[in-house]
Amino acid sequence: MYKIIKILVVSSLIISCARVGSPSGGPKDITPPKFLGSKPDTLATNVNPNTKEIVLNFDEYVILRDIAQQVIISPPPAITPTISPVGTARKYVTVRFYEPLLPNTTYTINFGSSIQDNNEGNKLNNFSYTFSTGNTIDSLQVNGTVRQSLKKELANPTIVSLYKIEKDKSGKDSVNLKNKPYYISRVDSAGNFKLKHLHEGKYRLLAFNDLNSNLIPDTDKEMVGFAAKDINPLYPETYSLVLSPVKQSYKFLKAEQEGQGIIKVKFKGHPDKLSITPVDRDFPSYKIEHQPFADSLYVYFNNAEFKKTEKKFRIKLLLKYLQKVDTLNLLYDNTLKSELSITPIEKEVSPTTCFMLKASNYINRIDKNRIEVSKNNEPINFNTEIDSLNAKNIAIKFPVAYDTEYKVTIKDQSFKDFLNQTNKDTLSYVIKTKKQNEFGNLSIRLQNKPDSKFFFQLVNEKYEVLESIYGSQDTFIFQNMKPGKYLIRILVDQNNNGIWDSADLENFKPSEPTYLYPNVIDVRPLWDINEVWIL
């Protein structure tokens, strides 16, 4: 078999590109608009705080594109200014204010690449305009980088900001993240940022994916990264921020019926342990299924224990987490039809996998005597197993060889669910395994691995987790892999609580560390890939 051996150390490469074109009839204009001057002048001081309009002049007709995504005013006014032209081109850009400017403040308007000429669309990239309502232009700055914790690519747009630290009523330092930050800048495509024209003071440094362009971190939807301590631009240093999901406070969201005898309860906050109990109705037998730190739980019960005359009725449940108690009221429909169905999760198997089935309901019992597995038409031994984490998943395990035909026959009444329903039909699956030379193998050896336990995750290019291994070993081997492109990441469990903790913004505690393998791994048939990853 072919051998690939690589030793990789994380490095970064920045490649800049320019697009050039030539239309028929002569060379194409590729020159961006030229800034001629402004009123007030750029870098002007003692600008009247009651100024209503700023005018920027250019050498040709210009128009603005994607203003909401491109233009950033720092500090941001409470009332959003109007910036034009948008529809009709002209040789000047105006910024109209609807409230007085702050006194003794340096303002910067970063237009990004929004200004472009009207004819060819040539962009004036990274154009900014600065002025001050005080005697001086603030000159301090903060530099750094931003990356994502779980992906290699940085989401666009990503904003980096400074929040002023102020005293609350009790005299403690605080920031109000529900307001717009005091200083704002944009992260470039390489993940670098620079906040310029800053005033000395104590700030919180915060980056976030501004998906809705409101210049406020929406922590239930947007990734956030921050410095663990407050900063002062008077003492410069380079900051490395890591964007990650934000830990949410626990909150019950809703309860809904998902079928006969199934109630799904949704909540925020990923609690580790919940309890739920019926209040005004007896449930002689019911089961709670909740994986620690999941965002939902299921209540399974046998509806045959209810009176058949009851078509629709109310169910009341008490949901408890720590000291918080929620009362759940649900209208239950007792007329819904239910049927147990069985489908294969994947029809392919290999010597390192097993044949997996998915049931429509929670499985209570398997009658192994009503299942047959044969190899080249000869019966073989097998075992069955209900997934301890998801009782809808069933594994049928038997020795698997390459380039061999197997047949799995599941007769009626092989499976029984919590409603005492059984599968009605006989199911038959013919499985033809691939040849050994159609698979590839991958071995990853870690150097300088984390001291704590960690999650070693194999993901596809969509960052869907294909395999997650929790442990502390330094070598990971994946055999009989389908040819394709894969990514590797490590999520460190520093506090050994069995999960990877995301960012705690309330206490300004960053997420636990992550590592992303710098290269995409291309698994090919008949190849053994051996990688050494130096962390």
Q: Tokens at residue 416, please?
A: 């029984």
Distance CA 500, CA 496 (A): 9
* Distance in angstroms (rounded) separating the CA atoms of residues 204 and 191: 19
pTM, full prediction: 0.83
CA angle 307, 313, 314 (to 5 degrees): 125
Higher pLDDT, 519 or 173: 519
Q: Is 178 exposed, middle or buried (0-12, 13-18, 19+ CB in 10 A)?
A: exposed
- Range of lowest pLDDT (56-65, 70-79, 286-295, 474-483): 286-295
Top pLDDT among 18 and 197 is at 197
Which residues, in sequence order, are bridge partners of residue 516? 489
Q: What local confidence, expressed as pLDDT, does residue 284 receive?
A: 64
Q: Give kind and range of the element (H or E) at residue 39.
A: strand 35-39
Nearest to 52 by CA among 89, 96, 22, 14: 96
How much is the pLDDT for 136? 96
Q: What is the pLDDT of residue 26?
A: 59
Give the per-residue pLDDT at 18: 35
Q: Is the pLDDT at 224 greater than 90, yes or no?
A: yes
pLDDT band at 14 (very low <50, low <70, confident <90, very high): very low
Cβ contact 303:260 at 8 Å: yes
Residue pair 414/371 in contact (Cβ under 8 Å)? The answer is yes
User: Which amino acid is located at 183 in the chain?
Assistant: Y
Confidence grade of residue 49 (pLDDT, cut at 50, 70, 90):
very high
| Statement: residue 15 has pLDDT above 70 | no
| Structure confidence at residue 20 as a pLDDT band (50, 70, 90) | very low
Question: Across the chain, what does the average pLDDT equal?
Answer: 89
pLDDT band per the 50, 70, 90 thresholds, residue 308: low
Q: What is the pLDDT of residues 64-122, one digit of tens each?
A: 998 988 899 999 998 999 999 988 899 999 999 999 999 999 999 999 889 999 988 89
Q: State how far Cα 144 lies from the chain centre.
A: 22
DSSP string, 465-522: EEEEEEE--SEEEEEEEPSEEEEEEEEE-TT-SSS---BBTTTTBPPPPEEE-SS-EE
Residues 123-172 have pLDDT tens digits of: 998 899 999 999 999 999 999 999 999 999 988 889 999 999 988 888 78
Write out pLDDT tens, residues 170-218. 878 888 898 889 999 999 989 999 999 999 999 999 999 998 888 899 9
pLDDT at 388: 85
Burial of 506 (0-12, 13-18, 19+ CB in 10 A): exposed
Beta carbons of 467 and 460 less than 8 angstroms apart: no
Choose the weakest-confidence range: 259-263, 432-436, 483-487, 520-524. 259-263
Neighbours of 420 (CB within 10 A): 11
In this prediction, residue 396 carries a pLDDT of 97
**All domains of the chain in start order, with CATH:** 35-132 (2.60.40.1220), 140-243 (2.60.40.1120), 251-333 (2.60.40), 342-434 (2.60.40.1220), 438-534 (2.60.40.10)
Tokens of 5: 């051996």
Across the beta sheet with 128-132, the strand order is 72-74, 106-110, 128-132
Q: What is the mean pLDDT of residues 494-509?
A: 91
Return phi, psi of residue 478, to 5°.
-120, 120
pLDDT over 50 (residue 533): yes
* 249-287 pLDDT tens trace: 889 999 999 888 889 999 888 787 888 888 877 776 778
The pLDDT tens digits of the residues spanning 352-407 come to 999 999 999 889 999 999 999 999 889 999 999 999 888 899 999 999 999 999 99
Asked whether residue 408 carries a pLDDT value surpassing 60, the answer given is yes
Answer yes or no: are the C-beta atoms of 491 and 499 closer than 8 Å.
no
The 8-class DSSP code of residue 422 comes to: B
Helices (H) and strands (E) in the chain — how many of each? 1, 43
Weakest mean pLDDT among 67-76, 230-239, 280-289, 315-324 = 280-289
pLDDT at 21: 38
Specify whether the CB–CB gap between 174 and 167 falls below 8 A. yes
